[in-house]
Each structure stands twice: as C-alpha cells, then as structure tokens.
Structure 1
Amino acid sequence: MAVLVAIVLAVSGASVTSVAAIAAISLKSQIKTVALGTKEQKAAAKTSIDAISGGANILLVGSDTRVGQTEVQAGVADGSRNDVTILIHLSADHTQMTAVSFPRDMMVDVPSCTGTGGATFPAADYQQFNTTLGEGLGCTVATVESITGLTIPYAAEITFDGVISMSNAIGGVDVCVAKPIDDAYSGLQLSAGTHTLLGLQALEFLRTRHGVGDGSDLARISSQQVFLSAMMRKIVSAGTLSSPLKLYGIASAAVKSMTLSTSLSSTTTLVQLGLALKDVGLSNALFVQYPTAVDPRNSNRVVAASADASVLNQDLQTDTKFTLNADSTGRASVTEGSTATGTASGTSSASASAGSGASSSATTPTSTATALPTGITGQSASEETCSVGNG
C-alpha cells in the first residue's frame, strides 16, 4: 500500500538537522508526541546522543492512514498500517548512517508490547509486519527490536501529507527512470528519462509497486532508494543544510506531519541528533533492504533470510562499519546509464530472488569497513541509480 520513504530519509538526514538549527525558537509548539513506555526510551530522554554506547537507533514509520490527510483521500481509510518502516542506525563516531528498510509483507513474530494509550498487547506468532502499527508505534518498535536484537529508544511516525509537503519544500527531486512507468493502480505514468518529482506525483512514485520491476514490495523498496539517494544528493549539492531559510521550510513541513516519541521530542535531543547527522558523507549514508527469503507457508510473503539477517543484525549491534558489495542494487534499480533488466511480471513480494537488478558500482570500502553478504541489497546515497520501470 502507501509508502512514505521520502519523508523518512528527509527527516533523518535533513529535517532533523533543520530542527537542530531552529526548532527551539518556533517549531517546538508544532511537535506531536507519543509515549512508547520502555525504560530505554525514558532513559534516552535524559541521555546525550554522544553518550549512547554503540551508536543511536531511530525507527521511522510511515503510516497509511487517511485520517486527517488533505491530499490523499482514496483507498482504505480504516485503521493504520506501517507500510514503510526504516531503522536508522547512526554509528557511535557519527561517520556512517545506515537506513534499513523492512518489507511490509514480511511475516514476523510480534512480542508483547505497549501500544496506543498505554494498552498492553500479548505476543502473537506469524503476523504480517505492516499490521504492528495498528496497535501503536510502540508495538512496531518492539517488533523491530525483537527482529534485530537492538535497543531502539527513538521513534517517529509520518503521514501521507508529509511526503507531499516535504517534496514541495525541497523543490522536487530529480529521479531517473530507465524504462517507462505505467501503473494503472496509482495512475502514475512516467516516460524513460529524468523527471523532477514533487507533490502528489512524488508520493505516487514512492507508493507504486506495479509500475516498477516485478511488481513486488521488494522491488518498490529499491525504487524508493533511487528517490532517497537523489533527494540526499540534491539537499547536499543545493547547500540546503547551510541555509536557515531552507532548513526552516523543510523542518516545518516535516514536523506538521510527524508524531515523535517523547524521547525524541525534546529540542535538546533534536539538536544533538541533527548535529550528529550533519557530517555523514553521501558515500557513508547507506540504504539497505532487510534480507528476506520466500515464505515457505505463502509464496506471496517473505520471511527473514536467517544467515544474511544474522550478519546484518550482528554488525548493527556491534556498530561495525560495513559497505555493500558490487552488484548490490535491488531488483528495481540500476546504475544510471546502464540497461534496465527488470521485468514487470508477477505481483507477489517474493516473485524474484533478491538482488536481481542490474549491476551497480558499490560504495568504495574503507580500511575499516567490511562487506555485507552478497544477498543483502541496497546502495549508498552517492550512487546515481535509476528505477527500472516496467515498460
């Protein structure tokens, strides 16, 4: 369903920095908060980002609710699902940021958790991951903690209107499309080439799954990474982070459509986080898809790929610096200038093997970085890639 990855990365890489610059003056009154209730989150509200051992973890969740949304009215309006969930891990030395996307169609075991209004929910086995937000942001956080073995003291939830407002505030994002996109479900139609996407069209691009690659949720994630990488490059090249006026516009657009955990809502914490993120270089901002395999119970769903997931989890837990291998792009993205090889057949999340996209150049490993397994896909923000489309 709906995807909010653009706002997610903008919040982590740009708008949080915006808040760091000026939130103490005029944005604090706009911040909506929710209590997550864990001891770690309560402690985090009193702890400096610099003092966190092993780096900082922030969960960013995109809700598909239509309640209160002015730009998107169509579709299911009841309930709320986490159709986009991205874990941001900032290394302890503030030199690397990793954004891990969790597929909405992944089947997981949900631990007991504290959700909306402090309600307690019992543990439940074999649940679709994107149902966890229906019980509250705290339950999505608890599930990702269970999956990864990490402690996640900070979280934020973002809505549809935020995607549109953010893309407008940035002035649009230049996105490369290798082959035409024709999505009869969302109405998105793009010719091959580079398009400046903003407003509702940016949202449609981030939401489309039938218009990219094999039509799967995993293909959509890699296409979203194309958009997010281009967004980050634009923000940096345009000097946005050094412009108070631009920063305020981005921050204001984001905050109006966000709900922050109480641990993250302090302007002091936002300042610390923004300062910690501002010097992460594009080549050290990595987008990674959580590794999955076909669900043996349902070929239209996926489960964690245990071996690769174990490596990624361990690297995140130990704050290990890593890089992606060559040919690491996902199934719906290719290096700009190369020939797209993605197909438009199939609509299930597991209809093709992970990493089936065309090859791309990997982030150049440093002397202190280890390479992730070849089954883990993604890219750095410095890599110029194209969505494969479905034409």
Structure 2
Amino acid sequence: MSESPRTSRRVTTDPTVARHARRRGRNPFTALLKVVSATLAVVLVSGTAVAAYALWDVAASVKPAVTLAGQDGSSPNIDAIEGGVNLLLVGSDSRQGQGDAYGDPDVETGNLNDVTMLLHISEDHSSATVVSFPRDMFVPIPACPKEDGSGTYNAMSSQKINTTLSYGGLACTVLTVEALTGLKIPFAAEVQFNGVIALSNAVGGVDVCVAEPIADPYTGTYLDAGTHTLQGSAALQFLRTRHGVGDGSDLGRISNQQVFLSSLVRTLQSSETLSDPTKLFGIAKAAASNMRLSVSLQNFNTMVSIAMAMKDIPLEQIAFVQYPNAYGSSGGQQGVLPLSAAAEQLFDAIKADKKISLTGTTGVGSVADPNAPGATETSAPPETTDPSDPASTPATTPPATADGGDAVELPSTIEGQTAGDYTCSKGNS
C-alpha cells in the first residue's frame, strides 16, 4: 500500500542549470545590447510592461537604439483580447536540435505531435475549455499543403492524429483539428522538449500531488507519494511519462497532464500572474524564444492579451477534457477511435459558447485529492480506488455552473476535470 499524500513531504526540483557560452570579442553592437538589457531590467522592476516589450523588441532587432526615444508612456495599455479565442498547442517529439538528453537525435528523428490540445475561450470570457486529442486516435486527414510550397499531400481517410505534424507541419495539424471539430482555429503554436523546460521555469514551477509513487525508467521520472514542486526538466519528464501513471497508456498520460495543468492555472491565478502584464511578457518571451508560432501569435501583445482573457474566469469554469474515444483499430493498426456522438455534444457546446458540466471520471491517470480544500474525512483515500472501476475516480465538478446558470451536461464518456478540481497523479510503479 502506498504512502498517502497526507503524510508526504514536499520536494522542490531545481530548474535546469544554464551553461555559460564561450566568451567572444567585444564589439559596439554587443555593448549596445548590454545597455538595452540593463534598461530592460530596470523597466521590468518598475512594472512598465508595455515599455518593457518595446525595449525587448528593440534589443532583438538589428538596430536596437532607433525607436527608443518617446516610447515610455506613449504605448497603449494591454488588456484582455476581445471576443473568443481558439488556439491549438502542439507538442512535438522531435529530438532534432534538442541535444542528446532525450535520445539520439540522429536515430530518433520522428516529428510526431504526441500532444495536441485545443484551447477555447468563450466570447464573454466567462469560461474556457481545453480539449486533449489522444495521439493514437484515428481521424481523417485533409489534403495538407507541403511546408516547402511544392504542392499538397493527398487526403487520407484514417490515420493517427499524431502523424499530421510529420505530413505537413503545424498547418496540417490545424487543418485536421478544424475538420474534426468544425471550429476555425486562427492561433497555433508548436513546442519541443526544451521549450517546455523554458516555459515551466518562466512560471516558477508547479505543485503537483502524487497519490502513489511514480517510477518510469523511460523518462527518468521517479516521484514518491506527496506534493512536488516541478519545473525545468523535472516538469518536462512528468508531462511526458505514461509508463509511470495509470494503466501505462497515452490516455493515462492525458489525465496525468491535466493534474499539472489544473494546478498551473490555480498557481497563475493565485499569484495574479494573469493580471500582471509584466509577468506575462516574461512568459511570452520564453514562448517566442522556444516555440514555433503561427503568424497571428508572433506579436507579444496578442499572446499577453489572450492570457489576460483567462484572469477572471472562475476555476470551476476552466475545464480540461479528453476527446471522447474507445479502443479499436483501423487498417490493422491498434489505437483509439473517436466517439462521434459524444464529441458532437462537446463541440456544439463550445461553438455555442455554453458552459459545460462534467459527469465522467477524471481518467485512469488521476484520482481525487483527499486533502483538497473542503474535503471531508469521509473522502476515500487514493489507495482505496480501483483503477479497473471508472466510477472510483469521479470528477468533483458540480452539475451546475459556479454562478448557478444552466450548463450543458456532457456524457460520461468524456473524461476530465476543472481547474477547481484538486486531483493527484495515480502512479504506476
């Protein structure tokens, strides 16, 4: 029997240590960049976020001093983006350009989107939904333009969704998800392993609860039961692990990732990061430096405005759900098949900007946290749950919205949780 989180210890994992670059000869341009960087540091401390962005933009350009004059106090304020948002985040498993920390880059040169998440923010900014698409789900892939502009790939009736990145890059993944959901997606970003490390460092780490020990030699993830503050490479490996959680499947990994993401949202709201343009510009800089962005996201102001749209959404109205699916096969390949009827209910609600109510479980990779705020002594501890019984890991989301309004009740085949649900990773050691 594993140790309960109630008596566990907190472990803080240090971020990745940066290596010092080789010293180079001094030149006037380098000296100018140092002056601009020093000025930026002062501006960040003073809280003038818009000017900070202007200075960073200048420092990154060929002529950093040209537009400095008159910038302080003259730029417009940054506020939440107007209207709704659909943004696709893709996580690539490519080792190219990532060093040898994640395997031999010359051998493991695949470029699969093993993580595909769609963020929808309602037009009135009262709710948000993040949909995770299982990497092994068979979907139709439309005719995608080749990245080199030499033509298009043929459409395919049934392929795993994680092959879209290798077919036609980020644009192909967006086209596939648009066809699958019926939504228009104007914003998209692709992140690799090093980018996840940089972003987790930018937010200062995330607390995650582990109900049962995690031991995964494939990713090097070893965590005792308890609460751990993860950032840097430790956060990356936690998000990558699937052998160490639930039933060892990608579906278990998704629910494990939702434990992290829910805690991340709570952390950002409690620290008022989502209300602070200065902090958000720091995160946006980490994103811009480590991610491939759609043209629509290359503007810092846009990234910050999208993040600020989340600041006033109640935690109970930020839902993380898994695209409904069932195990099956296609063309002799094993994977998962989409449950079209349940998916239609989900995306009809999203298109109509309706709040949603979850009735399914949190998934095989997580369990309810018995030490969550408001939990009673009668709450079942994590070790008493039966992973073979989906009813043993119920979502704690109430059937009504936080403001008492009507919500679309989703079928139980749609698993997930809200940012207001406190859950723990279910280890599979």
TM over 0.5: yes
Q: SS of the residue aligned with 1:133?
A: helix
Partner of 2:160: 128
Structure 1 distance, partners of 2:141, 2:170, is: 13
278 and 28 in structure 1: CA distance in 2 versus 1, 3 angstrom threshold: farther
Aligned to 1:63: 92
Check 1:368–1:299 CA distance in 2 against 1; reply closer, same or farther (3 A cut).
same
Q: Which amino acid aligns with 2:128?
A: M
Percent identical pairs in the alignment equals 49
Q: 1:239 to 1:92 in 2, by over 3 A?
A: closer
Q: Are residues 179 and 275 of structure 1, via their aligned partners in 2, closer, same or farther at CA, if it must alter by over 3 Å?
A: closer
1:144–1:19 Cα change, 3 Å: farther
Counterpart of 1:204 (choices 214, 229, 237) is 237
Q: Unaligned regions of 5+ residues in structure 1, if any?
A: 1-17, 32-47, 344-351
Distance 1:210 1:372 in 2: 29
97, 108, 116: which is aligned to 1:85?
Answer: 116
Contact 1:28 1:267 in 2 (8 A): no
Superimposed CA distance per residue, residues 248-299 of structure 1 (whole angstroms, 9 cap, x where no aligned partner): 4322222211111112223453354234333222221110100001224468
The answer to whether the Cα contact below 8 Å between 1:21 and 1:271 also exists between their aligned partners in 2 is: no
The residue correspondences of 1:1-391 to structure 2 (distance < 5 A) are: 23-26=53-56, 50=82, 55-70=84-99, 72-74=101-103, 77-118=108-149, 119-134=151-166, 135-243=168-276, 246-297=279-330, 300-325=334-359, 327-337=360-370, 338-340=381-383, 341=385, 343=387, 355=390, 358-363=393-398, 365-366=400-401, 367-391=405-429
> CA, structure 1 residues 104+19, in 2 after alignment: closer, same or farther (shift >3 Å)?
farther
Moved more, 65-74 or 22-31: 22-31
Q: 1:249 to 1:268 in 2, by over 3 A?
A: closer
Farther-moved stretch of structure 1 (19-28 vs 300-309): 19-28
- The residue number in structure 2 matching 1:4 is none
Distance 1:357 1:200, change over 3 A: farther
Distance 1:273 1:123, change over 3 A: same
Any conservation in 2 of the 1:89–1:98 contact (CA below 8 Å)? yes
Q: Distance in 1 between matches of 2:58 and 2:363?
A: 38
Amino acid at match of 1:207: R
CA distance in 2, matches of 1:91, 1:101: 17
Q: Segments of 4+ in structure 1 off by > 6 A?
A: 18-21, 28-31
Partners in 2 of 1:199 and 1:387 — Cα distance?
19
Q: Which residue of 2 aligns with 1:44?
A: none
Gaps of 5+ in 2: 1-47, 62-79, 371-380
Is the Cα contact below 8 Å between 2:134 and 2:323 reproduced in 1?
A: yes
SS in 1 for 2:212: coil
2:303 maps to a residue whose letter is L
Q: Distance in 2 between matches of 1:170 and 1:213?
A: 27
Secondary structure at 2:200 match in 1: helix
Moved more, 211-220 or 252-261: 252-261
State the 1:122 CA deviation.
1.4
How has the CA–CA distance of structure 1 residues 154 and 330 changed in structure 2, closer, same or farther, with 3 Å as cutoff? same
Structure ranking higher on relative contact order (CA contacts 8 Å, 6+ apart)? 1
Q: Distance between the aligned counterparts of 1:64 and 1:19, measured in 2?
A: 34
User: Aligned equivalents of 1:377 and 1:357: distance in 2?
Assistant: 13
